[in-house]
Amino acid sequence: MLDASLIIGLRVASVTFVALFAGCSTSQQTESTMPPPIHWTPFTWVEMEQQVSDENVVLLYCHPTYAVPDDYLLEEFHDLRLLRLHADGSFVARTLKYDDWEGDDIRKVFQHVGHTKYPMAILFRPGVPPIRIDTLPIEQWLDLIRTTHRFGRGE
Task: Tell me the angle at which helices 104-113 and 45-53 cross, rounded to the nearest 10 degrees.
Answer: 60
Q: Is 41 helix (H, G, I), strand (E, B) or coil?
A: strand
CA trace torsion 26, 28, 33, 36 (10° rounding): 140
Give the type of residue at 141.
W
Angle CA(138)–CA(151)–CA(130) in degrees, nearest 5? 55
- Mean per-residue pLDDT, 97-126: 88
Render the burial of 104-123: b for 16+ CB within 10 Å, e for the rest.
ebbebbeeebeeeeebbbbb
- Mean per-residue pLDDT, 108-133: 92
Q: Report the share of the chain in percent with pLDDT over 90.
A: 50
Give the type of residue at 93.
A
pLDDT for the residue 70 = 57
pLDDT for the residue 54 = 95
Kindly indicate the confidence band of residue 50, based on its pLDDT and cuts at 50, 70 and 90: very high
pTM over 0.85: no
Better-predicted residue by pLDDT, 98 or 152: 98
What does each C-alpha distance from 87 to 1, 26, 35, 67, 71 come to in angstroms? 59, 21, 6, 27, 24
Say which residues have a Cβ less than 8 Å from residue 71's Cβ, sequence separation at least 6. Answer: none
